[in-house]
């Protein structure tokens, strides 16, 4: 590579006490140096993000099984299948449970962030408790809640304390299983939203509250007119993260039910298609569809809430 | 009672209720992990206390049969290399983007930015083929490469910090004869310590907890990391909740210790990491 020679040339240039007008050499040097820093990151970025996307789009128009050297172009057949085969498209409805759960989650997180940003006893303890689940390993959470929903497990025992006798198989029917799993995801992710909201609320200048209180505003007014506008960018971010999160749920249902009793999500299905049934072509088409939906959601959000903080340069 | 005291009572009531909802499932699993097989068969409910609070038998079983030692070792290796790589790559990228003007800079920035919008789970079908073609499948290198590959969040965190370092520092060093690499190594990188701490924490927790990538790329039993090793408990111990619980507690414990000792930094890290 020419890079080494360039670098050697750089080192022999004596330091000029006054920035001299750029010679040809320094111009070349300035041109090359940033790329030396960027070679590794860019190579990784292209290899593990852009090449897969390009390949995936290419596979999605073929009947490839992921192993054999033979692959045939099938046009848009895979896409037709994704949208018309009811068993393939059905999994999208499961996302509905997680979307509904995200609404609950955001509301709860907002509530707790608001009350804990004011003076409350044991504030740090409550903060820690609410946030900690977000840090726990997903497999461990899966097991904790498998036991929670077991026959005679935690939930049944708690209910019997209140005199409610159930022999309800919580993970036994699609509706109750999906509701339970969505509940687990609220338990798990509430903390992240909570901490984001908390950070945003605390960046609202404190004098605003004092002024509002002097004007006789109560807590609800303060929330409505000071906090809510103050955290709008974070709220928008949370909404978009929730939507794309709801569409790409994988871990908890895969660990807890393996996708049985109607809890299969889009990603579980794609993983099964690709790695268990060797339908790489079809799985790629499904993944492209998911990717497009998520990009669309993000784009809509960026249009609705122009966020001036996203400028990287 | 005035309205204010009622409101306050309700606030505390809701906080206590939330605490119970968060802690109860975890505490029950802790209790279960201390029960013997016999107790599990005879107890009437999950809430019953174990007879012997110091019965660590299940932990020994979980640790040995679950090959947790090798799982923790593998996790540690992956953590160390991928975090080191992420810090290096993130800080270098941020330095290059913020301190230089060069051709195609806009394109490079756009490439990194757009990549942030692509959720990893969607491209795994094709990423798998690429990892496989490098011969990295079923080796520790697969997750290491993937974790290092595209961490836009860390690049962004570093970028925020590089920006806050005055350019005059670079310039005076340049006048003293330092080249770009010396400036990066001796001035920029040491000043990035807070950002590095944030990235190490956020990345560390993500890598420690990740299930998807090791599950797909390292099926061999001896390459288990803590998530996949714990996942394998499902088969042999399907009905032995006391052992599964012990395994889960073993995995959660390090997280709890780290969380309790670094609380403040962790909150900041996640706030900074997510509000990009």
- Chain A, nearest residue to B202 by Cα: A135
pLDDT at A42 over 70: yes
**Tens-digit pLDDT profile for residues A255-290:** 999 888 889 998 899 889 988 898 999 999 999 998
CB-nearest partner of B15 from A126, A187, A237: A126
Provide DSSP, chain A: -THHHHHHHHHHSPPPSS-PPP-HHHHHHHHHHHHHHHHHHHHHHIIIIIHHHHHHHHHTTB---SSSS---B-TTHHHHHHHH-HHHHTHHHHHHHHHHHHHHHHHHHHHHHHHHTS--TTHHHHHHHHHGGGGS-HHHHHHHHHHHHSTTSHHHHHHHHTT------TTTSHHHHHHHHHHHHHHHHHHHHHHHHHHHHHTS-HHHHHHHHHTT--HHHHIIIIIHHHTHHHHHHHHHHHHHHHHT--HHHHHHTTTTTTT--HHHHHHIIIIIS--HHHHHHHHHHHHHHHHHHHHHHHHHS--GGG---
pLDDT band at A306 (very low <50, low <70, confident <90, very high): low
Q: pLDDT category, A10, cuts 50, 70, 90?
A: very low
Closest CA to B21 of A176, A130, A84, A68: A130
A99 — contact with chain B (CB < 8 Å)? Answer: no
Average pLDDT over residues B67-90: 94
Of A150-154, A289-293, B205-209, least confident by mean pLDDT is A150-154
Contact assignment for A255 to B175 by CB distance below 8 Å:
no
Q: What is the model's pLDDT at position B271?
A: 79
Q: Please tell me the predicted confidence (pLDDT) of residue A88.
A: 83
Name every chain B residue with its beta carbon within 8 A of the beta carbon of A95: none
Selected residues 131-170 of chain A with any CB under 8 Å from a CB in chain B: 131-140, 143-145, 147-148, 150, 152-154, 156-158, 160-161
pTM of the predicted structure, to 2 decimals: 0.86
Which of A15, A196, A198 has its CB closest to that of B175? A15
User: Which of A138, A147, A157 is closest, CB to CB, to B241?
Assistant: A147
**What is the pLDDT, as a whole number, of residue B67?**
87
On average, the pLDDT of chain B sits at 89
Q: Which residue of A has its CA nearest to B252?
A: A136
Express each pLDDT in B148-192 by its tens digit.
Answer: 876 788 888 899 899 989 999 988 998 998 888 899 999 999 999
Chain A hits for B251, CB-CB cut-off 8 Å, are 137, 139-140
Chain B residue numbers with beta carbons less than 8 Å from the beta carbon of A131 are 266-267
A236 touches chain B (CB under 8 A): no
pLDDT in tens, B212-230: 999 999 999 889 999 999 9
Q: What confidence tens digit (pLDDT) does each residue in A88-101 have?
A: 888 888 999 999 99
Contact A55 B97 (CB under 8 A): no
| CB-CB neighbors (< 8 A) of A274 in chain B | 124-125, 128
Answer whether A291 sits within 8 Å of B208, measured CB to CB. Answer: no
Q: Which of A132, A237, A313 sits opposite B275 (nearest CB)?
A: A237
Q: What is the pLDDT of residues A83-139, one digit of tens each?
A: 888 888 888 889 999 999 999 999 999 999 999 988 888 999 999 999 999 999 999
């Amino acid at each position: 590579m020419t890079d080494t020679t360039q670098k050697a040339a750089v080192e022999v240039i004596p330091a000029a006490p006054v920035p001299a007008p750029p010679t040809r050499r320094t111009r070349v040097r300035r041109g090359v140096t940033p790329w030396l820093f960027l070679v590794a990151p860019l190579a990784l970025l292209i290899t593990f993000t852009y090449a897969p996307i390009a390949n995936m789009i290419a596979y999605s128009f073929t009947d490839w099984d992921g192993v054999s050297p033979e692959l045939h172009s099938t046009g848009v057949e895979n896409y037709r299948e994704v949208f018309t085969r009811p068993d393939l498209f059905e999994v999208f409805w499961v996302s509905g449970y997680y979307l509904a759960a995200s609404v609950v989650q955001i509301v709860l997180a907002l509530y707790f962030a608001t009350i804990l940003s004011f003076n409350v006893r044991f504030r740090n303890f409550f903060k820690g408790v609410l946030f900690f689940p977000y840090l726990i390993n997903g497999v461990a959470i899966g097991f904790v809640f498998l036991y929670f929903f077991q026959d005679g497990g935690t939930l049944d025992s708690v209910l019997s304390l209140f005199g409610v006798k159930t022999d309800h198989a919580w993970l036994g029917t699609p509706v109750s299983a999906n509701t339970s799993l969505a509940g687990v995801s609220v338990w798990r992710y509430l903390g992240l939203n909570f901490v984001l909201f908390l950070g945003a609320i605390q960046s609202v200048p404190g004098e605003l509250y004092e002024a509002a209180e002097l004007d006789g505003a109560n807590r609800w007014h303060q929330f409505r007119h000071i906090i809510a506008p103050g955290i709008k960018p974070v709220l928008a971010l949370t909404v978009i993260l929730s939507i794309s999160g709801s569409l790409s749920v994988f871990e908890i249902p895969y660990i807890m039910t393996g996708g049985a009793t109607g809890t299969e999500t889009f990603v579980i299905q794609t993983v099964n298609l690709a790695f268990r049934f060797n339908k790489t072509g079809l799985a790629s088409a499904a993944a492209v569809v998911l990717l497009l939906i998520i990009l669309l959601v993000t784009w809509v959000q960026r249009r609705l809430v122009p966020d001036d903080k996203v400028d990287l340069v | 009672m005035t309205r204010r005291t009622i409101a306050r009572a309700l606030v505390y009531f809701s906080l206590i209720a939330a605490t119970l909802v968060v802690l109860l499932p975890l505490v029950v699993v802790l209790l279960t992990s201390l029960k013997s097989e016999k107790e599990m068969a005879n107890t009437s409910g999950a809430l019953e206390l174990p007879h012997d609070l110091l019965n660590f038998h299940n932990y020994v079983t979980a640790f040995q049969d679950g090959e947790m030692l090798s799982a923790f070792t593998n996790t540690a290796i992956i953590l160390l290399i991928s975090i080191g790589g992420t810090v290096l790559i993130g800080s270098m990228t941020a330095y290059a983007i913020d301190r230089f003007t060069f051709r195609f800079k806009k394109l490079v920035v756009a490439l990194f930015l757009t990549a942030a919008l692509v959720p990893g789970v969607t491209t795994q079908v094709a990423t798998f083929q690429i990892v496989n073609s490098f011969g990295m499948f079923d080796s520790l290198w697969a997750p290491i490469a993937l974790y290092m590959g595209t961490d836009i969040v860390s690049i962004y965190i570093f970028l925020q910090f590089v920006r806050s370092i005055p350019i005059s520092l670079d310039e005076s060093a340049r006048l003293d004869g330092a080249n770009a690499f010396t400036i990066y190594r001796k001035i920029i990188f040491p000043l990035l310590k807070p950002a590095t701490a944030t990235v190490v924490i956020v990345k560390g927790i993500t890598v420690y907890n990740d299930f998807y990538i090791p599950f797909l790329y390292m099926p061999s039993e001896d390459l288990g990391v803590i998530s996949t090793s714990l996942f394998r408990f499902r088969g042999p111990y399907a009905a032995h909740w006391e052992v599964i619980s012990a395994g889960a507690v073993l995995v959660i414990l390090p997280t709890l210790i780290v969380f309790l000792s670094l609380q403040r930094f962790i909150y900041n890290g996640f706030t900074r990491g997510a509000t990009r």
